Amino acid sequence: MIDVRSREETDRLLERKARLNSRLTARPPLAARLRELRAWQSERLARTYADLRADPQTERAVGFFLSDLYGPQDFTRRDAELTRAWGLLRRTLPPFTLKVLTLAIELQVLSEELDLGVAEHLPPGAITAESYACAYRATGRSEARRRQIEILVEVGRRLARAVRMPIVALALRAARAPAHMAGFGLLQDFLERGFAAFARMPSAAPLLTAIREREAAFMASLLEEARCGPAAADASGALADRGG
């Protein structure tokens, strides 16, 4: 059973996610720009972690991070499943597994809030390194970005521990058929992919250290560098000004 404080925290996260979904539904141009931004960021992440994706021991874990936790694809169906299933999941999932799912929810919500801020500050046209840096700096929220990195690392740390806990693996296998029959297959598959991704690694520490260091360095470089020229600054609010 999940404790009351954690349950209330997750309920608030789901409410925040619902508000984000409503906001995007009401502003199709912003939703389209967000999709473009996510595709651009996905390419950046693929370049940043190309070496770790080439390593057989870390390939699946990096792929899980880049697709299931922070990818350009549409998570609408998974979100809908989670909203419907949450009452059942918080009563039936092992606490350790449920905490991984709760952290993943927080990461998704926080990432979408930050991405929306960047999307609103992007000038029209193709996204470039300069326009992205300008919008990133204009959005700010350095503490939230540090939290984003820490959640990402914590999800990995917990998954690495969980693969060495036989009871968690048994619970996941036992839940597979009921979850798919109940219409919660995407959530089940998400958890199974996460566990499988970390099962191959003797130690997740080098990967998680690399993620923390690289993302922190990327954040610092964008927040500190003065890369916004006058033209970029004048155009940065164009999408928000026209109600995009």
Q: Give pLDDT tens digits for 8-17.
A: 777 888 888 8
The position carrying tokens 């699946």 is: 60
Q: Identify the pLDDT of residue 237.
A: 39
Query: Is the per-residue pLDDT at 243 higher than 70?
Result: no
CA angle in degrees (0–180, nearest 5) for 32-110-207: 105
DSSP state of 165: -
DSSP symbols for 77-121: HHHHHHHHHHHHHHHHS-HHHHHHHHHHHHHHHHHHHHHHHHHHH
Q: Identify the pLDDT of residue 59.
A: 92
User: Residues near 19 by Cβ (< 8 Å), separated by ≥ 6?
Assistant: none
What are phi and psi for residue 183, nearest 5 degrees? Answer: 85, 20
In angstroms, rounded to a whole number, what is the distance separating the alpha carbons of residues 65 and 151? 12
Q: Give pLDDT tens digits for 17-76.
A: 888 888 888 999 999 999 999 999 999 999 999 999 999 989 999 988 888 777 666 677
Q: In the chain, what are the domain boundaries?
A: 4-234
Q: pLDDT-based confidence at 6, cuts 50/70/90? A: low
Query: Is the per-residue pLDDT at 5 higher than 60?
Result: no
Q: What is the mean pLDDT of the chain?
A: 81
Single pTM value for the model: 0.81
Q: pLDDT-based confidence at 233, cuts 50/70/90? A: very low
Torsion sign (Cα): 238, 111, 204, 209: positive
Query: Is the per-residue pLDDT at 242 higher than 60?
Result: no
Range from 150-159, 167-176, 203-212, 222-231 carrying the lowest mean pLDDT: 222-231
